[in-house]
Amino acid sequence: MTFDKIYLVGFMATGKSTVGRHLAARLGWRLEDIDHLIEVREKRTVAEIFATQGEPYFRAVEREILALLGPLRHVVVATGGGTFADPVNRAAINFDGVSVWIDVPLAELIPRIPRDGRRPLAADRPQLERLYAARTEGYRQAHVRVAASKTRASVVADRIMDVLDNTPLTMDMPFQID
C-alpha cells in the first residue's frame, strides 16, 4: 500500500460511515466521520444546523472540519454526502488521500433515507433526484468507484481493500470496482 488516508465519498445513505468502520478495522486505522464531528462541534444535529443556520453555514463548518483532518494520517474519513460535491473540498480530498466513491443507485437509497427530517435535503423527492444527479457528476472524479448496489458494508470494505492492495493506483486515473 502506498497511501495513508482514504476518503469515502458518495450520496447520503450509501453506507459511508458503516463501510468506514469496517475498513478502518481491517486497516487498524481510526475512522473520522465528518457529519459526526460537525454535530459534536456544534452541539446540534445536522438537521438542526440546516434549520437554524442554513446550508451555507453548514458547508463552511464542513470545510473547516475537513481542513482540521488534513494533517491526520492512517485514517479513514467518512464524508458527508455533499462534501465531495464542492470543488474546493474535492480538490483537497483528491490531493490528500485516496477518494473512494461508494456508488449506489438512487432507487435503492430512497428506502434507506429516513423521512423524519434527519436528512434535510431529502424532504422533496424531485429535489432529491436533482441533487443526486448533480452530485454524481462530482463523485465521478473520485480515484476509485465501487459499485455497492445490494452489497453488505463488509463486502464493500473487502472490495476496497482488494483494489488498494492489488492495483497500482495513479491518482490521476480513476479505477472502478463493479
Taking domain 5-177, whether its CATH number is 3.40.50.300 is answered by yes
Is residue 41 within 8 Å of residue 69, measured between CB atoms? no
Q: What is the pLDDT of residue 126?
A: 81
Q: What is the pLDDT of residue 1?
A: 45
In which element (H, E) is residue 156 found?
helix 153-166
| Three cell numbers, residue 44 | 446540534
Provide block-wise average pLDDT over 10 residues at a time, the chain (178 residues): 86 95 97 98 94 95 98 97 96 95 93 67 76 94 94 96 76 52
Q: Which residues pair with 103 in a beta bridge?
A: 147
Domain ranges of the chain: 5-177
Tell me the Cα Rg of the chain: 15
Q: What is the pLDDT of residues 87-136, one digit of tens each?
A: 999 999 999 999 999 999 999 988 877 666 565 656 667 888 898 999 99
User: What proportions of the chain, in percent to the nearest 5, are helix, strand and coil?
Assistant: 50, 15, 35
Report the alpha-carbon distance of residue 30 to residue 72 in Å, rounded: 10
Is pTM beyond 0.75 here?
yes
